[in-house]
Amino acid sequence: MKPGLSNPSRIHARKGGFSLVELVITMTIMTILVGVVSMRANGMTDKARAAKIISTIEGLRTPVMMYNQDTNQLPREYSGYQGGTYHRLSIDPGIANWDGPYIETPISRSWNPTGNLVHMYNQAVPSYSGNNGFDLDGDGTQDVDQFDAVTLVFWGIEESVAEKVDRAFDSSLSGTWTDAGRVEYQTGSSRLNVMIYNR
pLDDT at 13 over 60: no
Tell me whether residue 37 is in a domain: yes
- Whole domain around residue 189: which residue ranges? 21-198
| Terminal C-alpha separation, the chain | 99
Domain for residue 2, yes or no?
A: no
pLDDT, average across residues 145-174: 91
Mean pLDDT of 12-16: 60
Question: 6 lies in a domain?
Answer: no
| Residue 1 domain flag | no
13 vs 74: which has the higher pLDDT: 74
pLDDT averaged over every residue in the chain? 84
pLDDT of residue 195: 93
Mean pLDDT of 96-119: 94
Domain membership flag for residue 69: yes
Confidence of residue 22 (pLDDT cuts 50, 70, 90): confident
Is pLDDT larger for residue 127 or for residue 122?
122
Q: Is 11 within a domain?
A: no
CA gap 27, 33 in Å, rounded: 10
- State percent of the chain over pLDDT 90: 49
90 found inside a domain = yes
Structural domain count of the chain = 1
Domain assignment present for residue 14? The answer is no
Q: Give a three-class secondary structure readout of the chain.
A: CCCCCCCHHHCCCCCCCCCHHHHHHHHHHHHHHHHHHHHHHHHHHHHHHHHHHHHHHHHHHHHHHHHHHHHCCCCCEECCCCCCCCECCCCCCCCCCCCCCCCCCCCCHHHCCCCCCEEEECCCCCCCCCCCCCCCCCCCCCCCCHHHEEEEEECCCCHHHHHHHHHHHHCCCCCCCCCCCCEEEECCCCEEEEEEEEC
**Model confidence band, residue 175 (pLDDT cutoffs 50, 70, 90):** confident
Predicted pLDDT at 89: 95
**Residue of 159, 196, 199 whose CA lies nearest to 181:** 196
pLDDT tens digit sequence for 35-78: 666 655 555 589 999 999 999 999 999 999 999 999 999 999 99
